[in-house]
Amino acid sequence: MNIIPKRIRTARTLWLALGLCLTLPVNAAPADTDGLRLDKVVLVMRHGIRPPTDSAALQAWSAHTWPTFNTADGLLTAHGYTATVLLGHWQRQYLDSLGLFAVGQCPGAEDTYVWASPSSRTKATGAALLEGMFPGCGITVHHEKTSNDRLFHSIESGLAPLDPERTRSAMLAAMGGSPKVAQQRYAAAVLRMQTVASVPDTCPKGNNAKACTLSNLPWELKTKGTSVKLSGPLGVGAAMSESFRMQYAEGLPLDEVAFGQGRNAAAVARLMQLRSAKYALNNHVPYIAQRGGSQLLGQVLLGLEENATSQSPGGPPPTKWLAYIGHDSNIAQLRTLLGFNWKIAEYPENDAAPGGTLLFERWVDVHGHHFVRLAYLAQSMDQLRQLTPLDVSHPPYREPYAGLPGARHSAMIPLETFVSTMNKRIDTTATEPQQYVDQ
Q: What pLDDT tens digit does each residue of the chain (439 aa) get?
A: 444 544 444 444 333 333 333 333 333 334 467 899 999 999 999 999 999 999 999 998 998 999 999 999 999 999 999 999 999 999 999 999 999 999 999 999 899 999 999 999 999 999 999 999 999 999 999 999 888 899 999 999 999 999 999 999 999 999 999 999 999 999 999 999 999 999 776 666 655 545 678 888 899 999 988 889 999 999 999 999 999 999 999 999 999 999 999 999 999 999 999 999 999 999 999 999 999 999 999 999 999 997 756 677 899 999 999 999 999 999 999 999 999 999 999 999 999 999 999 999 999 999 999 999 999 999 999 999 999 999 877 899 999 998 775 555 568 899 999 999 999 999 999 999 999 987 6
For position 417, what pLDDT does the model report? 92
For position 439, what pLDDT does the model report? 61
Q: Kindly tell me the burial class for residue 132, based on how many C-beta atoms sit within 10 Å of its own C-beta (0-12, 13-18, 19 or more).
A: buried
Task: Report the alpha-carbon distance of residue 299 to residue 148 in Å, rounded.
Answer: 18
Task: Report the alpha-carbon distance of residue 305 to residue 380 in Å, rounded.
Answer: 32
Query: What b/e sequence results for 218-241 when a residue is b if at least 16 CB atoms lie within 10 Å of its CB, and e otherwise?
Result: ebebeeeeeebebebbbbbbbbbb
Beta bridge partners of 221: 230
For position 201, what pLDDT does the model report? 66
**Which among 80, 171, 146, 96 is positioned nearest to 384, based on CA atoms?**
80
For position 5, what pLDDT does the model report? 47
> Boundaries of CATH 3.40.50.1240 in the chain?
6-158+285-430, 164-280
| Topology of the domain comprising 6-158+285-430 | Rossmann fold (3.40.50)
Residues whose CB falls within 8 Å of the CB of residue 50, separated by 6 or more in sequence, listed in order: 71, 74, 75, 76, 77, 80, 121, 246, 354
For position 205, what pLDDT does the model report? 60
- Measuring CA to CA, how many Å separate 73 from each of 50, 70, 94, 290? 7, 9, 33, 30
CB 14 within 8 A of CB 387: yes
For position 200, what pLDDT does the model report? 75
Q: What angle do CA 215, 221, 226 make, to 5 degrees?
A: 145
For position 279, what pLDDT does the model report? 96
Q: What angle do CA 103, 105, 106 make, to 5 degrees?
A: 135
Looking at the domain that runs over 164-280, which CATH code has it been given?
A: 3.40.50.1240
Phi, psi at 193, each rounded to 5°: -65, -40
CB 232 within 8 A of CB 179: yes
Phi, psi at 412, each rounded to 5°: -90, 110
